[in-house]
Structure 1
Amino acid sequence: MPGGTRLRCQSPEPDTPRRIRSRIAIAAAIAAAIFTLDALTPLDIAVAVLYVVVVLIVAPICSRRSMIAVCCALMSMTVIAFVMSHGGTYAAAPVARCIVSLAALAISGFLTLKNIAATDVLREQVTLLDLTSDALVVYDMKRRICFWNRGAHALYGVAAEDAIGRAPHEIVRTAFERPLAAMLAELLRTGRWEGELAQTCRDGRELIVASRWTLQRDAQGHPLAVLVTNNDITQRKRMELEIERQQQEIRAAIDAIPAMVWVSSADGRPVFVNERWSEFGVPLDRIGDSWHTLVHPDDLPQMQRDWRHALATGTSLENESRVRRGDGAWRWSLLRATPLIDELGHIVRWYGVTTDIEEPKRAAEALARSESFLAEAETLSETGSIGFSVPRFEMFWSKQAYRIFGYPDDAEPSLQAMLARVHPDDHARVSSLMKTAATDRNDIDAEFRLLMPDDDVKRVHLVAHAVAHVAKTGGEQSEYRGALMDVTEARNVQDALHRSLAELAHVTRITTLGELSASIAHEVSQPIAAIMTNGDAGMRWLERDEPQLDEVREALNNMLRDARRAGGIVQRIRMLAKKSAPNRVPFDLNALIEESAVLVQREIGVHAIELRLQLAQGVLTIVGDRVQLQQVVINLMMNAIQAMASTTGRPRRLAVCSSCTQANEVRVDVEDSGPGIAEADLQRLFQPFFTTRAEGMGMGLSICRSIVESHGGKIRAYAQPGLGATMSFVLPNSSSLLSVAVDGTKV
């Protein structure tokens, strides 16, 4: 405190107007009584000395000037009373007593004025303490509050009259960072303590305060009181926590950046790097003075030139160099750095990002090669790039597209120009396709024909993908980007391939018939032998003396039945052997399986195989080429029979099953009990020229797959080595729509 004044344990309280008026009335009454007593009574005593009581009564409510006026008035009253009481006679004793009274009034006034001056200083100090925003609290060594300023009132919401005389914990709950006894012991030892405290007010508010405790001692050094200064730092702490959280988020964000972020001093010494540097495998100590050892020797001179230029000019730095990873591998990296310059123009910090561009570098090189290859490939493959916007149909053609349409390079690409080249038979379909693309924004995949000016016909395949983008005029529109391929030669080759496959399938059927010749001869010889037997019997019935016409009629009927049976067998064989175009019609798959079982019956008997037909109930109608599918069934059954030819020690069983699947398909399973198929062979079983038999050609199953897939089905093989194999194929039933090629599109 100023002048070494101690802080009082009780702050002076200002008097209220009512109290002031009471003091003045009491002082006036006492002064009047003393004056009356001094002036009207012949007492030989210094009655005027009692005016000191009046001085003491009015002292707390008077200013310095008022007190001087009061003292002068009282001294005047003393003189007046002396004159009135002694008339014109002034003895030495009364005069002495009057002088003593005046001296007493003067001394008491002087002392009072001095006390008023001290009180004013104290009051000013207390006022200053009340004006501070910090909470100031004084409590004695019994922990009873004896001073509570306005800052404490504002902070805790408790008035001084409610706080003074109470213990601090009764006003606010405090959570101490360590035991209170230890904190008080430190206060007594050092005279000071400071730290942060968490406090809870009566209204539930939680505060964090910076608290400073100062111990006040008396003249003998004994502890007298504790001055506590609390500063509300709740918002600051929250801000610090928020700043710390934001810093952590920023650090996490910087660490998550897919690049190596760094900060260096003005001379380039790193002071901060993010987590990506550790992933790159470069320790921080290697990025310091020896950073140049990380740069590829061929790239180091340019790096140094760029760095010196940036240091000299204070401009940003950008450089591409190969940097050595921790594992010794060289990686292309892009270094960008920006300086932080102070108000004097000096570089303070460098903020930089080093990005691994090894993959983009390779991708850029690959893209350049790809663009070069694409230009050559368009010419070699006769594939042009084409693009158009909808609904305006502003078109783009590559040079190869111009050549496919037969237009010069300076012609304006347009929908009308394209449609002008479309074959008349395909014109309506292509026009409808373009109108649909303008409204539905669906991808385009279509084949159609072009009629050229020289009457040459081209077959082209247009594939385009819709991409949404913002137009220059504003708004969103779609653009188709695709390829136009001249597939004339490919379709000619494909047609030739189909013809070759048909020829090969026919040859395979003939080969199969050759393998089944013994079975066919056996099946045909039975009805022929029956015909001969019935003919001989009929002749004998006719040669009798009395011909037996009923028996002859029955013999003739039997001959006709067997002849039809033999004719049916021959007809089915001719159908298998006949070379004809595929003819897809509805037929019963169960009947086809039964007929195929008849044709392989002798092979089944020769190899002592037990045949089980597990066919679906009722008629199993499908749409397809009967001859081709019968070839598939016979081929699978013959493969199963040949697979079991070498099986010994267990029954040889062949099961042919037909069923309907939940996916609305027809399924046929041919299961044998042979040695099975190796796992490695299952992946190549349907490839051309692959066979597991020494005498096999490797074309049977490949042809079977081609036939099944051309009918919209799939064929698969399942095997358990040593336990047999199952060949299974599925076909759409008669209620499914088959995909039929019509000018390259699907209906």
Structure 2
Amino acid sequence: MAPRGAERILSGAARPVLALLLAGIIFVTDEKVGFHAAVSVLYPLVLVLGAGRSGRRGIHAWTALCLALPVISFISVHMPRPGAEAALRLTFALAVTGLTGALLNGRLRLREARDARASSEETLRQFAELIPQILFRTDAGGRLTYLNPWFTRLTGRSAGEALARQHWHEALHPEDRDRYLRLHTEAGLSPQRIHVRARDSAGQYRWLLLHRRPRLDPVTGALAGWYGSGIDVDAEVRAAAEIRDLNARLERLAAQREEALRRSEHRFRALFDDLNIAFAEHDLSAAKPLVDAARDAGAGSLAAHDAAHPGYIARCLAGIRLVSANRAMLQMLGYGEETGLLSPAWPAPRGGRGAQMPLIQLEALFDGRCHVSGSTTLPGRDGRALPVAFGLNLIPESCTALSTFIDISEQEAAHAAMLAAQSSLARAGRAATMGALSTSLAHELNQPVQALTTEIDTIRRWLQRDPPEMARALRTLDRLAGNGARIAAIMRRTRAQLVTGEAPAMPLDLRALLRETSALLEGDLSHRSARLQVECTLDDPQVIADRIGLQQVFVNVLLNAAEAIAARPGGGHGLIRVLVREAPDDMACIRIRDDGPGIAPQHLEKLFEPFFTTRAQGMGMGLHICRGIIERFGGTISAGNHVGGGAEIRFTLPRPRARACAEHAA
């Protein structure tokens, strides 16, 4: 118990006190014996006792104290005549004390280095245990000397047992085990990396990326061992394998698609070149900004914008480029090779109506229509206008216009012949009508004319008597005047029938009549670049009218609308709309609109007056006759301008139910 108590005393706060007490005893003894005894050499014991567990400052302080005390004692005893022996003992004591202080400083530095190393080793150990990688160290022969705990977490094998038995490589896949061992035996001093598969704690193989770097002896430079790590890259390796498989599959699909595209292109090219239908592809990308600018500016139509900005349509036409045309297109227009068709002269107008198709493309682009069909003319190489039926498909994304054309020259010739035949038949019909009218007129006038002749002969006889019978002659003259009035009435009725088409009114189908009128006027409307559109919302489109008279009304109004379209500035195609709607009192309302310049306000009141016309060659009787016909049928007619532009003629006609009610009321 005594040694342990003394150790506690010496190791506690009493050590400095004991050291000071011992230093005092040595100092007093030196004062008494006068350095004749080797008492001062005990100061290193004071230094060890006082500064043995102190820091660097404590060692320096105690060393300074132990050096100062013998010097003070020597000065107080031997000065001013120090002896050689005393000086030698002082020197020895100082040397021993200084050496002891240096040893204590060295021991302190050694202890600090040992503590720092222990701390560094602990930090490194914690880092090696926490990092999610396998860390290992081997000697020069490849024997494992260290494995961090991540080896156990990944493989389920004890790291300590693996170090003891050196069987860690059994966790590797058999195919990778030999490869790794062979790499280890054949490796030089360069860093190494290799992918291997290791069995995890669940019994499944996972991919690891092993890195090894050589550890060289600092003195000899020889190989002392290896430092290495194993990173779990199973997800990356499997993802890379899936990506490789996906890329291979995509390459196969791309090759298949490319082959299918090549075959499709080959088929399309064969159809494109060999098909009898003419085909052309146009690029509208240069014209589209101009068309969009006009639309954004609020223009109602390209023609209106061109009227406000002269030369606008010409700039748009210059922005249309022909990309390609098939053989049928070239042959139809009289070109021998595509280079001639692709020259800047096509599809620019060559006079007349050669610019119709480019204008149709621009109008479709302006209106946002993707599909347009109809008939037009194309300029051939010899300058002739070739009539064609066309189908236009616009692809807005690429500003591409795909057009198909069919030569309808023969159909047009046949149609012209049909129209000529219809005209001849119409003339023959009119002649027959006039003949029938003449026969009827002769029949009606025969009796009054004969009576008139008889009365004249009678008057002559009465006047030739002697004396003349004046009373009888006067009575005969009265009868003669009555027959003259009868003849005049017959002539007035005949003239009215010729002018107004007066005939019995009966139910007739508006749709059928409009179709018949449209067919009759097809050539006139086409010549004036006008197109007719009929919109009828009546379930039963029947009205009470005379077919010939109502058709005369439609013909007059539609031809006036077509003339207005043809006279507007800028040209281009126009639209005539016939709208048939239900009106109050069982009436049908017919509105005929055009997109021409409209009717001048000062002309609206005079429009239906006889002999009023705005055309140099007009007679001014058309609308006057129309008003008489409509009013004779029990309807009304008026004219005005549509809010969207253009003129509008409105008239109403009774429907069969209204006519029946009126007759019943009468």
| TM-score, length of structure 2 as denominator length | 0.29
Structure of greater Rg: 2
Report the structure, 1 or 2, having the larger strand content: 1
| TM-score, length of structure 1 as denominator length | 0.26
